[in-house]
């Protein structure tokens, strides 16, 4: 468990926010939506991997 | 001592990141809170394993039936997971979802405690002078 995961997700979040603003200003709303969705998917895969490792650890720890 | 520093550090860092990102992308704030919760939990794991081993040791020495201790430890695990989800749902403002999770986890815990209650009643009935 490392902390850089936290910074990776924060970085993706900031990047997506900036890209969204830039693309919206440039008039390409659909590309902006696509980048937001792409960022969402990337972060979601990371989060789900971590949540599954949490569940496995709790299962082995508490004997569920 | 360094465990506390690590945990408090991660908590504050993720708090700052959440506040920064909440203005632009509110959903990423939830991801960061989930991930920081998981990281802090992984720091607390080795302490938890020691506690559970100590409990098992005491239970074996005192001759109490090991099955009940297993059920108790399972209940704490379920309660922890449910509380983890409930607090995140409440953070996101979905208190109705949190109540649903609470209801479900309570039902599971109560259904797990049935054998213990059953044995307790049997012991009481045996003591009763019929």
Is there a contact between A61 and B52 (Cβ–Cβ < 8 Å)? yes
Tell me the percentage of chain A whose pLDDT exceeds 90: 80
CB pairs below 8 Å between A and B: how many? 91
Chain B residues with beta carbon closer than 8 angstroms to that of A41:
none
Which residues in B lie closer than 8 A to residue A47 (C-beta atoms)?
31, 34-35
The pLDDT-based confidence of B130 (bands split at 50, 70, 90) is low
Give the DSSP H or E segment for A43.
helix A29-62
Judge whether B21 and B28 are in contact, CB under 8 Å: yes
For residue range B45-82, what is the model confidence (pLDDT) as tens digits?
888 899 999 988 888 888 777 788 889 899 999 999 99
Q: Do B80 and A12 touch (CB under 8 A)?
A: no
Q: pLDDT by residue (tens digit) across A3-30?
A: 889 999 999 999 999 999 999 999 989 9
B28 part of contact set with chain A, CB < 8 Å: yes
Q: Angle at which helices A29-62 and A4-25 pack, to 10 degrees?
A: 160
Q: Which pLDDT band, with edges at 50, 70 and 90, does B87 fall under?
A: very high
Nearest CA-CA distance, residue A27 and chain B, Å: 18
Query: At residue B41, does pLDDT exceed 80?
Result: yes
CB A15 within 8 A of CB A39: yes
For residue B90, what pLDDT band results from cuts at 50, 70 and 90? very high
Structure-block tokens of residue B27:
């959903």
In the structure, what pLDDT confidence band is assigned to residue B25 with cuts at 50, 70 and 90? confident
Angle at A54 between CA A48 and CA A57, to 5 degrees: 145
Going by C-beta distance under 8 Å and a sequence separation of 6 or more, which residues neighbour residue B29?
A: B18, B21, B22
Q: How much is the pTM? A: 0.85
Minimum Cα–Cα distance from B77: chain A residue: A62
Among residues B42, B43, B35, which one has the least CA distance to residue B5? B43
Residue A9 to residue B48, Cβ atoms within 8 A: no
Mean pLDDT, all residues of chain A: 91
Angle (CA) B88 B89 B91, round 5° = 65
ipTM more than 0.95?
no
């Amino acid at each position: 468990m490392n902390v850089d995961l936290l910074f990776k997700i924060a970085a993706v979040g900031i990047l997506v926010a900036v890209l969204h603003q830039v693309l919206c200003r440039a008039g390409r709303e659909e590309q902006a939506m696509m980048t937001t969705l792409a960022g969402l998917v990337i972060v979601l895969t990371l989060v789900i991997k971590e949540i599954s490792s949490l569940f496995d650890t709790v299962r082995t720890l508490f004997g569920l | 001592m360094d465990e506390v520093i690590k945990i408090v550090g991660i908590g504050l860092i993720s708090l700052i990141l959440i506040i920064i990102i909440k203005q632009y992308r509110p959903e990423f704030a939830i991801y960061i809170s989930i991930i920081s919760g998981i990281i802090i939990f992984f720091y607390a794991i080795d302490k938890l394993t020691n506690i559970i081993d100590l409990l098992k040791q005491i239970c074996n020495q005192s001759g109490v039936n090991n099955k009940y201790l297993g059920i108790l430890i399972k209940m704490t695990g379920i309660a922890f997971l449910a509380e983890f989800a409930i607090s995140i749902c409440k953070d996101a403002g979905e208190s109705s979802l949190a109540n649903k999770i609470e209801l479900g986890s309570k039902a599971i815990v109560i259904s797990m405690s049935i054998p213990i209650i059953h044995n307790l009643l049997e012991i009481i009935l045996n003591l009763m002078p019929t």
